[in-house]
Amino acid sequence: MEPNREIFGSNLMAIFALAGSAIGLGNIWRFPYMVGQHGGAAFIIVYILCTLVFSLPIFYCESIIGRRTGRSSIGAMRQLAPGSRWTLIGVFTVLGPLMITSFYSVVGGWSIAYLLRSCFSSFGAMSHEEIGSLFANFTGSVWGPVLAHTAFLLISAIIISAGVRKGIETFSKYSLPPLVVLMILLMVYSISLPGAHAGVEYMVKPDFSRLDARAIASAMGQSFFSLSLGMGTVLTYASYMSKKDNIISTGAWTAVFDLGFALIAGFVVMPAVFAAGLEPQAGPGLVFETLPFIFADMGAASPLLSKVVTVVFFLSVLIAALTSEISMYEVCTAYLVEERKMSRRKATVLVFVVAWSIGVACAVLPKVFDFCDFVSSNVLMTLGALAFSLFIGWRMKKAVVEAELTNDGSLPGNRKVFKVFYFLTRYIVPVGIGIIFLSNFITF
């Protein structure tokens, strides 16, 4: 580790930062519509199993590499496998986050636009036809999405330029607790709506008949995306962890918070969707297209309540998106600072310029958006996760892996987990990832 390298203030702060990275649009925007599309609670059960069997081991693989080396992804691979092809993993894990940062910022920008709209005008004053065309009109225009994307990326850049402790840690520490409180309030409200019980049932009652191979592959992919795996994000954050921190419990807490938050988001969205008699399988448009109908109907009954709920909702989406965005931004920034010896400020500006340019293309050209989403989430992320698991399972020395997970034997309780982890990482995880990867190119 470089002598002046920053580290998180405590193990709890590392958990906050990692949970902040995990909790994002994936939980609020993607998880509820995936649950809707793939059989409700049946999907949730598979999702939890995938997290335990596949995602947590990969989380630990990245953490081991990051914490062991105290370097960001490319530097870490260069240190552990100098001159070998393994260093290519580092390259994937800078390009992937750069692409996700760019298109994620576009969606983050939508949340800024919707937040401003809900502050300054009311969804309640709009007809269903107007709401129906709102999302298409907004995303189909040029200036709105580009300005919103610029604003979102700029906020992220400001946080990143403040550094690991003052920027990432402080933002995660102060934004996550209110975010969770806001979402719990929204959940209570949503569940109490007349007719909401059908949505609650939808979330808790498994429909195994809808659980096909595509649903299982989607559960695995969603679990990876949600825990920010395969992109070097976990690796980079783990490189800021102290040698005394417990990697196993940090990963477990991050997964628990991430899953808990996804379930809360599901209980915000689904009961409201059912209460309004809308389609639960609306797909990606669920949050930005379907929910405004609900806010509008609510506005007819109580304009003030509708305004408060709408503002709180889009504010939550924005905060969640920011804590994830900064984690990807940091992977690229840390690479430039550590390997290219740039100042943090210069690195932040360079990443801003590149991510802004790709993001503008994503904001105005839906094909570029879909391409970046597909390549980063389905190709680079899965290949990154596969490479990390193969590296830890087959290339790194077993004793070193065990030492890192047990803090050189000072956490003997972790030894049992290590044994299960090692078996999964060598044999089960690579096969599972191979299946998800191929599922992207096969129609079931």
Question: In the complex, which residues of this chain contact ligand PFF (CB under 6 A)?
Answer: 21-22, 24-27, 97, 100, 225-226, 228, 231, 233, 324, 327-328
CB nearer to ligand PFF: pick between 139 and 228: 228
Q: Which is nearer to ligand PFF, 325 or 404 (CB)?
A: 325
**Among residues 31 and 391, whose Cβ is nearest to ligand PFF?**
31
Q: What angle do CA 142, 145, 148 make, to 5 degrees?
A: 135
What type of residue is 88?
L
Residue 194, Cβ density class (10 Å: 0-12 exposed, 13-18 middle, ≥19 buried): exposed
Q: How far is the CB of 18 from ligand PFF (least distance, A)?
A: 10
- Among 184, 187, 155, 159, which residue's Cα sits nearest to residue 173? 159
Q: Which residues have a Cβ under 8 Å from the Cβ of 66 and sit 6 or more positions away?
A: 72, 73, 76, 234, 235, 236, 237, 238, 239, 241
Contact 21, 228 (CB under 8 A): yes
Of 131 and 168, nearer to ligand PFF (C-beta) is: 168
Residue pair 221/380 in contact by the 8 Å Cβ criterion:
no
CB of 27 to ligand PFF, least distance (A): 5
Which CB atom, from 95 or from 305, has the smaller least distance to ligand PFF? 95
Quick one: 19 or 405, whose CB is closer to ligand PFF? 19
In the numeric block, which tokens belong to residue 129?
């036809």
Question: In this structure, what token pair is assigned to residue 166?
Answer: 């003052």
CB-based closest residue to ligand PFF: 26
In angstroms, what is the minimal distance from the CB of 249 to ligand PFF?
A: 20
* CB 252, min distance to ligand PFF, A: 17
Smallest gap from Cβ 255 to ligand PFF, in A, equals 12
Q: Is 299 exposed, middle or buried (0-12, 13-18, 19+ CB in 10 A)?
A: buried
CB of 105 to ligand PFF, least distance (A): 12
CA dist 301 and 21 (Å) reads 37
- The nearest distance, CB 343 to ligand PFF, in angstroms, is 24
Beta bridge pairs of residue 40 = 206
Nearer to ligand PFF, 27 or 414 (CB): 27
